[in-house]
């Protein structure tokens, strides 16, 4: 088995997780992993190399993190993380970062996660959804052939940053984030769900953490961090005041729920700019995570600032395990 801490992973970083399945309450879907796969990742990295979240922050501030030290991070406040993996973390006595977007506690969650659930569970294959989505876009006079022609470089760049994405994964995200306004994308997806008789409002409690579960994560010693209020997919394109609202409200709701100061965050969809970093600094955030292992924005350095700590996606680690079995 190839050792984990070799190039291009020979520096401190986070490990990024999102979705989990157990084939009982949570079905297997694109991007989800099982408890056993999670444990394989822990075994490859080595438990001794996994640093508890609060210690990771202290070592970052003291500049004493070693190149073979990592932390575990979980994005989006998903119920499957609590039900499937939190018991494993408790057994292993690992304290991780959980990055939570807070509109889920107002019963008005961003529909991004609902749309993901729809496309990964109501179609036999993810490419069946993409075909359905692309055809629907074409019927609304969205010129897919021109988009494909104009975005060749962008598609290659995204594939370089996120090698586990398929061509259709990338094309879908480019259309969603660049060619459709947020309300346009939501209207298209809601229409598609109606066509499939999918009641999306009934999924909220199934998909997201409750306030009680959030408090339990915090009481165990996990670090609860910011992930914006409504989870914009392109934070860097928002004006400073909108960004400030996203993180200020996020901070206020989390602080109220866990009765503790928030000192960490991860950038939704890896999108941020200089304004984002200034806002986080004003909120006294001590560490922020990106969503890839490439060099930081406008830099020749990987971990260029405390708000740009790299993360390896679990999918890349599983691919490494499969190659070396």
Q: Is the peptide bond before 8 cis (omega within 30 degrees of 0)?
A: yes
Tell me how far CA of residue 103 lies from CA of 30, 223, 249, in angstroms: 24, 19, 9
User: pLDDT band for position 231 (50/70/90)?
Assistant: very high
Residue 97, helix vs strand vs coil? strand
Q: What length does the chain have?
A: 325
Task: Say if residue 33's pLDDT is above 80.
Answer: yes
Q: What are phi and psi of 135, to 5 degrees?
A: -65, -40
Mean pLDDT to the nearest integer, 179-195 = 90
- Among 18, 26, 45, 70, residue whose Cα is nearest residue 206: 26
CA atoms of 87 and 106, how far apart (whole Å): 26
Mean confidence (pLDDT) of the chain: 93
- Among 137, 47, 154, 136, residue whose Cα is nearest residue 91: 47
Looking at per-residue pLDDT, the higher value among 196 and 214 belongs to 214
Mean pLDDT to the nearest integer, 86-110 = 93
DSSP structural state of residue 288: E
- Rg of the chain over CA atoms, in angstroms? 19
Q: What is the pLDDT of residue 325?
A: 58
Exposure of 303 in the CB half-sphere (CA atoms within 13 A): 21
Mean pLDDT to the nearest integer, 272-287 = 98
Among the ranges given (157-161, 214-218, 298-302), the one the predictor scored with the smallest mean pLDDT: 298-302
CATH topology of domain 13-110+208-323: TIM Barrel (3.20.20)
For the chain, report the end-to-end CA distance as a whole number of angstroms: 7
Tell the residue number behind the tokens 């099982």, with chain if given: 34
User: pLDDT band for position 296 (50/70/90)?
Assistant: confident
Structure tokens at 101: 């977007």
User: pLDDT band for position 1 (50/70/90)?
Assistant: very low
DSSP structural state of residue 47: G
Among the ranges given (45-54, 71-80, 105-114, 214-223), the one the predictor scored with the smallest mean pLDDT: 105-114
Contacts of 212 (CB under 8 A, 6+ apart): none
Structure tokens at 170: 């990338």
Tell me how far CA of residue 158 lies from CA of 152, 167, 298, in angstroms: 10, 10, 16
Exposure of 268 in the CB half-sphere (CA atoms within 13 A): 27
Q: What are phi and psi of 13, to 5 degrees?
A: -165, 175
Q: What is the pLDDT of residue 2?
A: 55
Percent of the chain with pLDDT over 90: 74
Exposure of 212 in the CB half-sphere (CA atoms within 13 A): 2
Asked if residue 310 lies in contact with residue 11, where contact means CB atoms within 8 angstroms, the answer is yes
CA atoms of 44 and 51, how far apart (whole Å): 15
- Among 19, 20, 24, 195, residue whose Cα is nearest residue 112: 19
Domain assignments of the chain as residue spans, ordered by start: 13-110+208-323, 123-197
């Amino acid at each position: 088995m190839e050792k984990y801490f070799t190039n291009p992973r020979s520096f401190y970083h986070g490990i990024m997780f999102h979705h989990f399945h157990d084939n009982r309450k949570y079905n297997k879907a694109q991007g989800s992993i099982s408890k056993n796969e999670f444990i394989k990742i822990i075994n490859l990295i080595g438990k001794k190399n996994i640093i508890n979240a609060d210690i990771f922050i202290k070592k970052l501030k003291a500049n004493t993190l070693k190149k073979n030290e990592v932390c575990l991070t979980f994005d989006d406040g998903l119920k499957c993380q609590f039900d499937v993996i939190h018991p494993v973390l408790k057994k292993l006595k690992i304290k991780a970062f959980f990055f939570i977007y807070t509109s889920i506690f107002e019963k008005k969650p961003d529909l991004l996660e609902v749309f993901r659930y729809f496309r990964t569970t109501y179609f036999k294959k993810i490419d069946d959804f993409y075909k359905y989505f692309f055809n629907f876009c074409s019927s609304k006079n969205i010129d897919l052939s021109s988009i494909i022609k104009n975005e060749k470089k962008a598609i290659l760049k995204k594939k370089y940053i996120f090698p586990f994405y398929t061509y259709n994964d990338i094309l879908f995200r480019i259309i969603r984030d660049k060619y459709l306004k947020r309300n346009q994308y939501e209207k298209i997806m809601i229409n598609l769900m109606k066509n499939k008789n999918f009641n999306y409002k009934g999924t909220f409690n199934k998909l997201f953490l409750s306030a009680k579960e959030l408090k339990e994560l915090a009481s165990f010693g996990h670090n609860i961090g910011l992930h914006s209020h409504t989870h914009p997919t392109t934070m860097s394109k928002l004006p400073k005041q909108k960004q400030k609202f996203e993180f200020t409200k996020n901070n206020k709701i989390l602080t109220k729920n866990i009765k503790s100061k928030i000192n960490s965050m991860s950038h939704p969809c890896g999108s941020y700019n200089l304004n984002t970093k200034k806002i986080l600094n004003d909120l006294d955030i001590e560490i922020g995570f990106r969503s890839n292992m490439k060099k930081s924005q406008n830099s020749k350095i990987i971990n260029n600032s405390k708000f740009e700590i790299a993360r390896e996606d679990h999918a890349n680690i599983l691919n490494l395990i499969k190659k070396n079995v």
